[in-house]
Structure 1
Amino acid sequence: METWDAIRARRNVRSYTDQPVAEEHLTRIAEAGWRSPSASNRQHWDFVIVTDRAQLRELSTVWQGAGHLAGAQAAIVLVVPEPADDRTRVLDQYDLGQATYAMMLAAADLGIGTGHSSIGDQDRARGILGVPGDHVVSLMLGIGYPADRPLRPIKNPTRRPFDEVVHRGRW
């Protein structure tokens, strides 16, 4: 898929087929996050690739919006050290957002769906993944082939009108 098509096709997928995602595709998706920009090239992140069904089911319970992970073929969980201050927290979250989107685009390019989730129960998430207590489990990305329809560029997305969002020169 071309980059522009991947951007237009990417959507949150929360229902997946039973088709496994190849290990090389999971690695490629994680590499997209690894290659994403990071403030001052700090790269505070770590990524945990999860394919174990029991672990995916457990991860689906750490946040009200994470239920889709139970049916995903894999997940990539993004982890950062506990931030020292508010500025570090903001930079880390921005970096994780960029890494997440890079992974979502790489997946869409392969025809693989993704659905993101936050974490509500840090202690449970850390326990499931073996993450040290001085780190924050920040985001999870469910990964799998869409059950409802394949990824294709969306011609008329449900978005605020472009001309209401984009301003030129001034508000």
Structure 2
Amino acid sequence: METLDAIRARRNVRDYTADPVSDEDLSRIAEAGWRAPSASNRQHWDFVVVTDRGQLAELATVWQSASHIARAAAAIALVVPRPADDRQAALDQYDLGQATYAMMLAATDLGIGTGHSSVGDHDKARALLGVPATHDVAYLLGVGYPADRPLRPVARPNRRPFDEVVHRGRW
């Protein structure tokens, strides 16, 4: 798939088939996150790939809108050290967003859907994943094959009009 086609086809997938995602494809998706840009190349992230059904079901309870994680073939937890200050926190959040989107595009390129989730119960997420107390599980990314329809470029996305969003030279 061409990059722009992957961008146009990517959507949040929250219903998945029962088909597993291969370890090779999960590694490719994680590699995309690993290769994402980060402030000063700090790479303040770790990724935990989860495929165990019981563990996925438990992870689905760490946020009120994470139920799709239980139905996913896999999840990737994005883990970050607790920040020293507000500036560090802002940089880490920006970097995690870039890593998440890189993984989403890589998955889309493979025909695999993704759905992101926040984490509310950090203590439970840390315990489930064996993450040290010095780190937080910031986000979860559900990974699996879409149950409803394949990933194809969306002709008319539900977006604000392009000309309202893009300004040239000035607001």
TM-score scaled by length of structure 1: 0.99
Structure 2 equivalent of residue 64 of structure 1: 64
Structure 1 equivalent of residue 142 of structure 2: 142
Structure 2 equivalent of residue 27 of structure 1: 27
| Matching of residues 1-171 of structure 1 within 5 Å | 1-171=1-171
The one-character-per-residue Cα deviations of 1:126-152 (angstroms, maximum 9, x if unpaired) are 011011111011010000000000000
Q: Distance in 2 between matches of 1:22 and 1:80?
A: 26
Q: Distance in 1 between matches of 2:105 and 2:141?
A: 12
List structure 1 runs of 4+ shifted beyond 3 angstroms.
none
The one-character-per-residue Cα deviations of 1:39-62 (angstroms, maximum 9, x if unpaired) are 000001000000000000000000
SS at match of 1:44: coil
Q: Distance in 2 between matches of 1:18 and 1:2?
A: 27
Q: Distance in 2 between matches of 1:144 and 1:157?
A: 22
Deviation, structure 1 residue 68? 0.1
Could you tell me the percent identity over the aligned residues?
Answer: 77
Q: Distance in 2 between matches of 1:69 and 1:137?
A: 14
SS at match of 2:137: strand
SS at match of 2:33: helix
Structure 2 residues not aligned, in runs of 5+: none
Q: Distance in 1 between matches of 2:43 and 2:70?
A: 29
Q: Distance in 2 between matches of 1:118 and 1:169?
A: 35
The one-character-per-residue Cα deviations of 1:92-146 (angstroms, maximum 9, x if unpaired) are 0000000000000000000000000000001110011011111011010000000
Q: Distance in 2 between matches of 1:140 and 1:79?
A: 9
Letter in 2 for 1:123: D
Q: Distance in 1 between matches of 2:127 and 2:133?
A: 9
Letter in 2 for 1:111: G
Q: Distance in 2 between matches of 1:151 and 1:109?
A: 9
Structure 1 residues not aligned, in runs of 5+: none
In the alignment of these two chains, the number of paired residues is: 171
Q: Distance in 2 between matches of 1:6 and 1:38?
A: 22
Q: Distance in 1 between matches of 2:98 and 2:160?
A: 22
Q: Distance in 1 between matches of 2:138 and 2:122?
A: 9
Letter in 2 for 1:163: D
Q: Distance in 1 between matches of 2:125 and 2:14?
A: 20
Letter in 2 for 1:153: P
Deviation, structure 1 residue 2? 1.0
